Structure 1
Amino acid sequence: MSMTARHGGQILVDQLKAQGVRRVFSVPGESFLAALDGLYDSGIENIVCRHEGGACMMAEAHAKLTGQPGVVFVTRGPGATNASCGIHVAKQDSTPLILFVGQIDNRHRDREAFQEVDYRAFFKPIAKWAAEVDHTERLPEYISRAFHQARAGRPGPVVLALPENILSARADVPDLPPVAPMPPSVCSEQIDAVLEILCKAERPLVIAGGSVWSSEAAQGLAEFATTFGLPVCATFRRMDRIDNRHPNYAGDLAVGMNPKLAQRLQDADCLLVLGARLGDIATGGYELIDPAAPGKTIIHIHPDPDELGRVFRPDLGLAAPAVDVIARLARRAAPAHPDWAEWTTAAHADYLDWLRPRETPGAVKLEQVIHDLSETLPENAIITNGAGNYAAFLHRYLRARAFPGHLAPTSGSMGYGFPAAIAAKLEHPDRPVICFAGDGCFQMTLNELSTARQYGANIVVVVCNNGQYGTIRMHQEKTYPGRVSGTQMFNPDYAALARAYGAHGERVEATGDFAAAFARATEAGRPAVIELVLDPDALSPGKTLQEIRAGQ
């Protein structure tokens, strides 16, 4: 054996260094001890988490923030299956992610060895690529391919299973260089074609979404909207594609969207879709726009050529990253076009009207808390959330700052907001990071309070406690009015629980007490949890319980 031979764990970590990886997330396992050994003095920060689902969601959020593939290590069997919830988030959110799974000794394969799982079969439906490495000397090849696959076309998750004997074996193999940077993939003639169609429209609407964004892209989109006088809306949970305080912002195409925005989407005669897939939520379950008869011109920009024409036939489709197209659009002067000023001004006015809080029951008005906080947050604040009815209040009343101002799962995964907030604070320690979570949502990943405390991620968590799985209760009231079943919850004392983790904890029972509690939480110098005690009948930011039961 050559004196330069390295064990597989060291080869793996050296490849991560070559790819520019600075931070990984993990839950340790004996199946990848060699990889942990490789990380020992590598300079790569290893954030050790409390549950594989939380670790994978942190890695996914890290990728959203940086545009680079998130990396997570988990052990075999239950470790990998626990992490699958984060893989699903990455798939639906089009996020580049690489999950390394410690695997059984491959000489024992197909004997149902301890914690044996066929990861190719298990992850195939929810990952871009799932593979297992059977030769130590091929580790650089597989890892290089994983990084290429995660970032290519429509980004997404990749799973690599690493048998423990492959990681512990030694090999003399050269490292491969990182993924080569891709030059901008659009030319002037393509931008000309976009503008030629767009500038013939009487009622255009820009729809921004998709993954792998940047602060430069958000600024470029704002400049493009200003120069051309165009209304811009965001897709579900992509609110930070443009600063929501921009005078051309029209709102988000989300669950429970503004009815006036829904009407505007129908009335538009041209859609410029930047990065988004234009899926079921953005189109109101394909009812606001019918794929069979959209009744409008569609210009679709998406990095994956297989996405173009998959559901909606575009009149012009460009297989290109939205950030590249936006950068070029932002540099263009506006050619002659119809006067869109009234159309755009009305779109923004409708959005501002939608922001006015509509009162809900209870002593704590969640709509007022979010509205007031949104108006006073610093310019560089980052908000995160998971899923639940509380999120409908957040999406309606929050005016997200430009990227990275908001992190949330388009997949609708509960438990996401808290791990995402930890990842955001680790990446941007100088920025205030606030997580909104429901009581059901927070209890799915609150054990990561220990992780936040260990690594100094001093975030503020606002727990919206209504004592139930609110979204399911709302649908239950629509379908089986007054027959509440299987949706009630017992809750801990969240303030006391936070203090048990060494965090700051508070309980708020009146709207007027929130501002002072939030100030104390942000100044605590440690993670903080603020529990909002909400009325269980405050199920929707736009409807009373009676209206929900009546199906209105």
Structure 2
Amino acid sequence: MQERSGGQLLADALVAQGATHVFAVPGESYLDLLDGLYAQRNRVELITCRFEAGAVHMAEAHGKLTGKPGVAIVTRGPGACHAAIGVHVAMQDSTPLVLLVGQIPVEETDRETFQEVDYRRMFQPLAKWVTQIDDARRIPEIMAHAFDMATSGRPGPVVVAISEEMQKHMVAVPDLGPQRVLPAHPAPAAIPEMMAMLEKAERPLVIMGGSRWSPEGRAALRAFAEANDLPVAVAFRRQGLFDGTSPHFAGDLGVGADAGLVAAAKKSDLILAIGTRIGEPVSQGYTLLDMAGATPIVHVHPDQGEIGRVYRVALGVTSDVNAFALGLAGQKVAKPRWAAWRQEVRAAREAQAVAQDYAGPLNLAVALQALEKALPADTVFTTDAGNFATWPTRFMHVKEGQDFLGPTNGAMGYGVPAAIGAAVVHRGRQVVCFVGDGGFLMTGQEIATAFHHGVAPIILVFNNRMYGTIRMYQERVYPERVSGTELTNPDFARFIEAFGGHGEVVERTEELVPAYERAVASGKPAIIEIRTNPEQVTNRATIAELRAQAKK
């Protein structure tokens, strides 16, 4: 074995673990790793980003789409602090992620030296595992374990600090490849017991969520739902898991969920929760179900620690979601008694998706539904956090073959970098981002990364000149006392034109689809600024209506 520097060993370890992309903001704390990546430039694409949170959001999108750990690298101190947002997204979204953080020289520890942070303490509540490499000989071991941890059980983020001088040390150690581990399968009695419970049910409901679903796993669960005539809801921002046009699709349980679906979940006499943690958004603030188990729940999750964490379930199944779904092949109840129930739940979803007669020249619901018809069958959607996001969720349908990425922790600033990360992963697919004016100006500068690396996402900026979600809550509690929620914005179309991109402004219903078509034809990164009616603060209420309700 030849001696290699710690920086080269780190780069080689990424290759050994199968990394294909690295998203980074460069820093002097990992110059040797950057040099190692130069040596591996034909095997790992280094994506140079403009802000650490953006870099980690891109890596998180990579992890969502591939099921393999996305990789980000940031420098110490401020860089790590900026990156923490993306780590929190990965944790709450159960996304496999490995974040490398440059670190100070070991001999300067505990002097509060330049940019010193104890990353074990900083990231401990945000990540699955946090460690630091001070001995170059241990790089292959620790990096292999980091990738294993990111994908095992409930997937999530791992943070690895890499001390500066360690990267210069010359050592001779072998690389370690990925560890082959068969996925956890359901216990032999699990599926028969679930089917026995399903035989007795009259109003069953499937809630599909979680991460690392394979196309085969999704197809298997869909076939099971169709064979048994089951309504299927998806968890918060997991629209890509089930075909939204299917007669079995019931909608999404999350922020802004259809009232009909919430009512159906409360009426259900059997919940099949597969992959989801049944967290706060899905459970509607822990009000949807009885924690003691009045409504029987079958909870399937890869991490046993999540089963029964909040809700006492009738049957807990520790299993990889795909293994469980594939194990359902051929399973069918003798006589499903819930055809009318499934139709009722589906009808509620269809009723919610009917475009209302909103005031003004732009009916956003009608415009988005027209856009849906113009989009490619393999579109990748990304969404930011905010009230605007409930419009496409309510009025559009994510189809089989399309993907949908969104932050379940409600992180503003996710949408644009996630769109760029998705475009890097799938260079042949159209990527469409939904983002509000508030969220765009948090990470919108990352559009420079799209130009730098030759990808062309289309960004739809919903501009209502306010932090809409907070304004909604403000008007509910303190009507007419507007404080801190109004915004002053640039001309977003001219913003991207300054980069050499394509900009459009939409103010009328009929303008959105032609604007989209021109954006696609340009072949450039594009922004379509959709100037919405500020009075229509949600798709269900105006500011005047919220004020009237608050005064009752």
Q: TM-score, normalised by structure 1?
A: 0.97
CA distance in 2, matches of 1:444, 1:106: 34
CA distance in 2, matches of 1:324, 1:551: 48
Cα offset, 1:470, TM superposition: 0.7
User: Alignment partner for residue 515 of structure 1, among 513, 519, 525?
Assistant: 513
Counterpart AA for 1:372: A
Match of 2:294 in 1: 295
CA distance in 1, matches of 2:364, 2:476: 22
Cα offset, 1:239, TM superposition: 1.1
Match of 1:257 in 2: 257
Match of 1:483 in 2: 481
User: Alignment partner for residue 32 of structure 2, among 27, 31, 34?
Assistant: 34
Cα offset, 1:255, TM superposition: 1.2
Match of 1:5 in 2: 3
CA distance in 2, matches of 1:375, 1:313: 43
CA distance in 2, matches of 1:279, 1:296: 16
Match of 1:441 in 2: 439
Counterpart AA for 1:321: D
Match of 2:107 in 1: 107
Task: State the SS of the aligned residue for 1:206.
Answer: strand
CA distance in 2, matches of 1:481, 1:201: 45
Aligned residues of 2:25 and 2:50 also touching (Cα < 8 A) = yes
1:333-388 deviations in Å (ceiling 9; x for gaps) = 41314422111111111111110112334322222222222233221111111111
Cα offset, 1:187, TM superposition: 5.1
Cα offset, 1:403, TM superposition: 5.7
CA distance in 2, matches of 1:507, 1:242: 32
CA distance in 1, matches of 2:25, 2:67: 23
User: Alignment partner for residue 421 of structure 2, among 423, 435, 444?
Assistant: 423
Cα offset, 1:290, TM superposition: 2.4
Cα offset, 1:498, TM superposition: 0.4
Aligned residues of 1:31 and 1:103 also touching (Cα < 8 A) = yes
Match of 2:313 in 1: 314
1:62-92 deviations in Å (ceiling 9; x for gaps) = 0000000111000000000000000010011
- The answer to whether the aligner puts 1:81 opposite 2:59 as a matched pair is no
Cα offset, 1:17, TM superposition: 1.1
Aligned residues of 2:365 and 2:395 also touching (Cα < 8 A) = yes
Match of 1:98 in 2: 98
Task: State the SS of the aligned residue for 1:445.
Answer: helix
Change (3 A) 1:157 1:168: same
Identical-residue share of aligned pairs (%): 45
Match of 2:391 in 1: 393
Match of 1:495 in 2: 493
Counterpart AA for 2:262: A
CA distance in 1, matches of 2:461, 2:219: 32
Task: State the SS of the aligned residue for 2:8.
Answer: helix
Aligned residues of 2:183 and 2:323 also touching (Cα < 8 A) = no
Cα offset, 1:188, TM superposition: 4.8
Aligned residues of 2:74 and 2:101 also touching (Cα < 8 A) = yes
Task: State the SS of the aligned residue for 1:334.
Answer: coil
Q: Which moved more, 1:537-546 or 1:5-14?
A: 537-546
1:338-487 pair list within 5 angstroms: 338-402=336-400, 404-487=402-485
CA distance in 2, matches of 1:310, 1:144: 30
1:471-498 deviations in Å (ceiling 9; x for gaps) = 1111111111111111111111111110
Aligned residues of 2:291 and 2:312 also touching (Cα < 8 A) = yes
Aligned residues of 2:387 and 2:469 also touching (Cα < 8 A) = yes
Task: State the SS of the aligned residue for 1:178.
Answer: coil
Aligned residues of 1:70 and 1:97 also touching (Cα < 8 A) = yes
Aligned residues of 1:382 and 1:432 also touching (Cα < 8 A) = yes
Aligned residues of 1:218 and 1:243 also touching (Cα < 8 A) = no
Match of 2:304 in 1: 305
- The answer to whether the aligner puts 1:324 opposite 2:319 as a matched pair is no
Cα offset, 1:183, TM superposition: 3.8
Task: State the SS of the aligned residue for 1:199.
Answer: helix
Cα offset, 1:402, TM superposition: 3.1
Task: State the SS of the aligned residue for 2:304.
Answer: coil
Task: State the SS of the aligned residue for 2:549.
Answer: coil
1:199-245 deviations in Å (ceiling 9; x for gaps) = 22111100000111222222222211111111100011011111100
Cα offset, 1:419, TM superposition: 0.8
Q: How many residues align?
A: 548
Q: Which moved more, 1:521-530 or 1:207-216?
A: 207-216
Match of 2:532 in 1: 534
CA distance in 2, matches of 1:335, 1:283: 27
CA distance in 2, matches of 1:202, 1:509: 47
Aligned residues of 2:368 and 2:395 also touching (Cα < 8 A) = yes
Counterpart AA for 1:260: G
CA distance in 2, matches of 1:499, 1:286: 45
CA distance in 2, matches of 1:343, 1:108: 66
Aligned residues of 1:200 and 1:338 also touching (Cα < 8 A) = no
Cα offset, 1:305, TM superposition: 0.7
Q: What is the Cα-based RMSD across aligned positions, in Å? A: 1.4
Match of 2:48 in 1: 48
- The answer to whether the aligner puts 1:204 opposite 2:179 as a matched pair is no
Q: Which moved more, 1:274-283 or 1:71-80?
A: 274-283
Match of 2:17 in 1: 19
Aligned residues of 2:381 and 2:431 also touching (Cα < 8 A) = yes
CA distance in 2, matches of 1:183, 1:463: 40
1:73-118 deviations in Å (ceiling 9; x for gaps) = 0000000000000001001111111110011111111111111111
- The answer to whether the aligner puts 1:247 opposite 2:240 as a matched pair is no
Misfit runs of 4+, over 6 Å: none
Aligned residues of 1:363 and 1:534 also touching (Cα < 8 A) = no
Cα offset, 1:184, TM superposition: 4.9
Match of 1:137 in 2: 137
CA distance in 2, matches of 1:155, 1:362: 45
Counterpart AA for 1:446: G
List gaps (5 residues or longer) in structure 1: none
Counterpart AA for 1:207: I
Task: State the SS of the aligned residue for 2:2.
Answer: coil
Q: TM-score, normalised by structure 2?
A: 0.97
